[in-house]
Amino acid sequence: MDGKVKGPGREKAKNMTRTERIEARLRESFQPRVLEVIDESERHRGHAGYQDGGESHFKVTIAADAFAGMSRIARHRAVHAALGHDLVSEIHALGLTISD
Amino acid sequence: MSAEDTIRKTVTENDVVLFMKGTKSMPQCGFSSRVAGVLNYMGVNFADVNVLADETIRQGIKEYSDWPTIPQLYVKGEFVGGCDIVTEMTLSGELDTLFAENGIAFDKDAADKIREANA
């Protein structure tokens, strides 16, 4: 490790929203050309998994060279890994559109 | 039998299995509903496993597949993907190819209609 405060610690210090944490982790891992993180929670108000204040249902569109040559499953797994178990388990729904 | 053994048995004994929230006739989540809907519309004979009915399966399938979300589609014991991947593969025609290569019957005209409607 490089001694820099990474991931959860730094995010907590900055009091980041889930949307910001998703963006930060994906930027750090993939240096994407395109990154769009949309909080779709309001569309799911009243449905299972809706949480007060939103940030439960996300739609992410990401394009990065890092995904070249990877299968669909491998791309999704890479995104899951970059987000980390803690963040993935906080989110009720995560729609991913991934391209290279 | 452990959850892992139950899951292995299920995906081995059934050509097409969808692990989902709810059942194929009564899905309980939009993402599960979408994948079950595609399979139903394409006339694919598949086994549905309602993860909401068994917490050990709900957690077990995530570990078995190394995949954090539901639904999950299996064909011939191989993990295919979740809702986003199945949707992309339906629209690209890759799902037709996967079924054809594995000898799984499906309605090609219905699959074409899905693609026309989403073109």
- The answer to whether residue A76 sits within a structural domain is yes
The whole-model pTM stands at 0.88
* d(CA B84, nearest CA chain A) in Å: 6
Q: Is A1's pLDDT higher than 50? A: no
- Within 8 A of A94 by CB-CB distance, chain B residues are 69
Q: Is the pLDDT of residue A5 over 60?
A: no
Q: Quote ipTM for the complex.
A: 0.87
Query: Quick one: tokens of B49?
Result: 């496993």
CATH number at residue A50: 3.30.300.90
CB contact under 8 A, A93 and B28: no
State the pLDDT at residue A50: 67
pLDDT digits (tens, 9 = 90+) for B50-70: 999 999 999 999 999 999 999
Q: Give the best residue of A43, A73, A77, A85 to mutate against chain B (max B CB count within 10 A).
A: A73
Name the residue type at position A40.
Answer: E
User: What angle is formed at CA B77 by the lines to CA B109 and CA A74, rounded to 5 degrees?
Assistant: 85
Residue A12 falls within a domain, yes or no?
Answer: yes
Query: What residue in B sits closest to A83 (Cα-Cα)?
Result: B68
Rounded to 5°, angle at Cα B16 from B15 and B19: 135
Q: What is the chain A residue with the closest CA to B31?
A: A93
Range of the domain at A48: 7-99
| Among the listed residues A87, A27, A86, A34, the one whose alpha carbon sits nearest the alpha carbon of residue A62 | A34
Q: What is the mean pLDDT of chain A?
A: 86
Q: How many domains does chain A have?
A: 1
Give SS3 for A10.
Answer: helix
Most B-contacting residue of A40, A70, A76 (CB-CB within 10 A), to test interface: A76
**A46 inside domain:** yes
In the prediction, which pLDDT does A14 show? 77
The answer to whether position A64 is within a domain reads yes
CATH of domain B3-117: 3.40.30.10
Q: What is the pLDDT of residue A4?
A: 53
Q: Which residue has the tokens 């949307």?
A: A19
Domain residue ranges in chain B: 3-117
CB-CB: which of A73, A77, A93 is closest to B31? Answer: A93
Furthest-apart CA pair in chain B: how many Å? 46
- Report if residue A2 sits inside a domain: no
Which residues of chain A make contact with B88, given a CB cutoff of 8 A? 72
Residue B18 Cα, gap to closest chain A Cα (Å): 16
DSSP labels, chain B: --HHHHHHHHHHH-SEEEEESB-SSSBSSHHHHHHHHHHHHTT---EEEEGGG-HHHHHHHHHHHT--SS-EEEETTEEEE-HHHHHHHHHHTHHHHHHHHTT----HHHHHHHHHHT-
> Is A18 contained in some domain?
yes
10-residue mean pLDDT profile of chain B (119 residues): values are: 96 98 94 96 98 96 95 98 96 97 97 94
Across the range A84-91, mean pLDDT stands at 90
